[in-house]
Structure 1
Amino acid sequence: MTPIEEYIQTMPAERKPILTELYHFIQTIVPEAEEKISYGMPTFYLNGNLVHFSNAKNHIGFYPTPSAVTAFQEQLTKYKTSKGAIQFPVNQELPWELIRQIVLFRKSENAS
C-alpha cells in the first residue's frame, strides 16, 4: 500500500471513494511522479512538489501552489481559494478537466 493509500484509509468512509478517485486521476496524468506524504497531505512530486490534496470537513483541499491558483483564477471563480489552495465542496462533482489542466500546468512549470 502506498503512503497516499494509507492516508485515504484513515479518512471517513464517505470520503474514501472521492479521495481514491482523485488520487488515481492524478496518477494517470503524472504516472512518473513520486508519491508521498508532505505537510501531512498526499503529495505528487516531480522536480519539486506538483500538487497536494487533503480531506477537510466540508471540502476537498487541492494545493497546486500560488502560481497555479493565479494562472487559473478565471476558471476558479466558483470555488473558495487562497494563496495556494482551492476548496472543492464535497457536495459537488470535482472539476476533473480543470484539475487535469492544473496538474499539467504544474508539471510544465516544474520542468522548467
Structure 2
Amino acid sequence: MGTVEDYVAGLPSPARELIRDAYAVVRDSVPDAVETLKYGMPALALDGKGVISIMHTKEHIGVYPYSADVVARVLADGDLPGVIGSTKGSLHFALDAPLPPEAIRSIVQARLTEIGR
C-alpha cells in the first residue's frame, strides 16, 4: 500500500478530497507524525505508535485510532459530530460529507493522551 499520500492519491473522488482534508487536520495537530503502515493500513504515527488511519470503505470513511479505549472514550464524551457508526476499533463517517475537523482533533487528542504525548 505505500504512504498515506500514495493511498489518498489512489482514491476515487470525493473520498480522496475528504480523506486528504482529514489527514491535513491531523498533520496540523501532530506536525511531527510520520507516515507508516500499521496493521496493513497507511497511518500517521509517533514514536512507532499508530495515531490514526483514515480509510475509504464501500459504506463509509473509517477512522482508526489504534485503540478501542479511544473509540469508547470519544463516543462516551458525546461531542463527536458526523459519526454515523462505529465498531470496537473504528469510527465511521459518511462517504459524501467532510469529516468534521473538531471530531478529528478530538480523536487525535484522545490517542495522543493515551500514548503519553
TM class by shorter chain equals 0.7 to 0.9
Deviation by residue 1:10-69 (Cα, 9 ceiling, x = unmatched): 211332111111111111110111211223322111131111111111211001121111
User: What amino acid is aligned across from residue 98 of structure 1 in structure 2?
Assistant: A
State the match for 1:70 in structure 2. Answer: 72
Q: TM-score, normalised by structure 2?
A: 0.82
Deviation at 1:100, TM superposition (A): 0.2
Q: Is the 8 A contact 2:37 2:43 kept in 1?
A: yes
Q: How many residues align?
A: 111
- Structure with bigger RCO (C-alpha 8 Å, 6+ apart): 2
* Pairwise CA RMSD: 2.0
Percent identity of paired positions between Structure 1 and Structure 2: 30
Q: TM-score, normalised by structure 1?
A: 0.86
User: What amino acid is aligned across from residue 62 of structure 2 in structure 1?
Assistant: G
Report SS of the residue matched to 1:79. strand
Q: Which runs of 4+ in 1 moved over 6 A?
A: none
Structure 1 portions without partners, runs of 5+: none
Counterpart-to-counterpart distance in 2, 1:69 and 1:75: 12
- 1:13 and 2:18 aligned: no
